[in-house]
Structure 1
Amino acid sequence: MSVDTQPSTPPAVVRRKYLLDAGFQFRYMFRLAALGGGGVLLVGLLTYRVHKAAVDSGASPLALATSGETMLWLTGLGALAIAGLLALFGLVITHRVAGPVYVMSLYIATLAAGRYPRMRPLRKKDELRGFFDRFSEAVDRIREREAEEARLLSEVIETLEPLATTEETRAALSILGSIRARKRQATEGPTAGALKSVA
């Protein structure tokens, strides 16, 4: 029997579904398209009016050249204004997404430290509400399961304590007691630190 010594390459992951949260994605796609398209249309209308005014007045070639320079300035300033508006809009959008992600990363760090975080609701205009609700529900279910396991461990320890006559059985009960204490501390104790508010 021969052993294959060639390293196996992981299969390439191809994602073909681009609309994962259609409501969220369409809402911001249309807002960005409207802002960008509306800005370009406004700049185009302004430059057209400058050009039409120069042509209608029977301008000389020198005046047409001057109106061309004005159109270039309008186009440049319009592009800067649109870029600024899109950057500002992008900041608002990313803040509404980054805020919940930041809060959930703090919750995950608290979970990794062996504690259960005190969950708070998202801000009114935050995105990712569905994901955050599922995340909160999962944390609550795990916390309930841990509390139930701590309760069951208490019952087992109370039942076995009178029967623990050897050093080995007392050591086993001590281990069960430390597991119970850790579960109780995780589910009932305060969190490791207060979450910062994301404004």
Structure 2
Amino acid sequence: MSDDIHKPPRPGHTRRTYLLDREFQLKYILLLAGIGAVSMGVFGGLAHRLHVSAVSSGVDGGASLLWLTGVGALGLAGVLGVFGLLFTHRVAGPVHVMSLYVAALAAGRYPRLRPLRKKDELKRFFDRFSEAVDRIRQREAEEAHALEAAVAALTPVATTPEARQALETLSALHTRKRQAVDNPTGSTFKSVA
């Protein structure tokens, strides 16, 4: 019988930390809340003015208030839409560039990393990503150097066909690693600016 039946169920994991990147999240939470508060304040002021004007003139201002509400909703949607476009571009741009870099890494090439734009977000993540790519590239260079030394040391003593075949494999591996490290890709990546 399987032991899986007798294992206790895993407890559910709940996230208790909501501000993972405090500076980034608070910046946009406060900006979005500010845009909403200012918009609602302007709308409330205009609605109050329309109401006072309608009451003082003895006219029913319901239709005007309805139009004002519609225009205010459309205006707020437009402002938040433009803000959303700017915000997502500042995040989506770096994500797009990093996905191109990851594709190059998966293909066995090391991309030539460029810095992010001045107003892009995710800079700390990109710095960590760049550092990881540099460390991997450095490790590949060290391994290529070690393979080169091993090939040089084993070439004079490789007398059997199996030893020469193994040496050819090591030499091909050295060549591949050296090409990946020495020829970073960069011209194939389009800027998202």
Find the residue that maps to 2:121 and give its secondary structure: coil
**CA distance in 2 between partners of 1:48 and 1:137 (Å):** 56
CA contact (8 A) 2:141 2:181 kept: yes
CA contact (8 A) 2:151 2:171 kept: yes
**CA distance in 1 between partners of 2:96 and 2:72 (Å):** 35
Please tell me whether residue 24 in structure 1 is matched to residue 18 in structure 2.
no
TM-score (norm 2): 0.93
The equivalent of 1:81 in structure 2 is 75
Q: 1:18 offset after TM fit, Å?
A: 1.0
**CA distance in 2 between partners of 1:98 and 1:10 (Å):** 35
Moved over 3 A (4+): 8-13
CA contact (8 A) 1:100 1:126 kept: yes
Q: 1:125 is matched with which residue: 80, 95, 119?
A: 119
Q: How many residues align?
A: 192
One-letter identity of the residue aligned with 2:25:
Q
The equivalent of 2:130 in structure 1 is 136
Q: 1:68 offset after TM fit, Å?
A: 1.8
Please tell me whether residue 168 in structure 1 is matched to residue 162 in structure 2.
yes
Structure 1: any 5+ residue segments left out of the alignment? Answer: none
CA contact (8 A) 2:112 2:186 kept: no
Instruction: Give % identity.
Output: 57
Q: 1:13 offset after TM fit, Å?
A: 4.0
Q: 2:66 is matched with which residue: 64, 72, 77?
A: 72
TM-score (norm 1): 0.90
The equivalent of 2:37 in structure 1 is 37
One-letter identity of the residue aligned with 1:111:
L
Pairs within 5 Å for 1:3-14: 3-4=2-3, 12-14=12-14
RMSD: 1.9
**CA distance in 2 between partners of 1:107 and 1:10 (Å):** 37
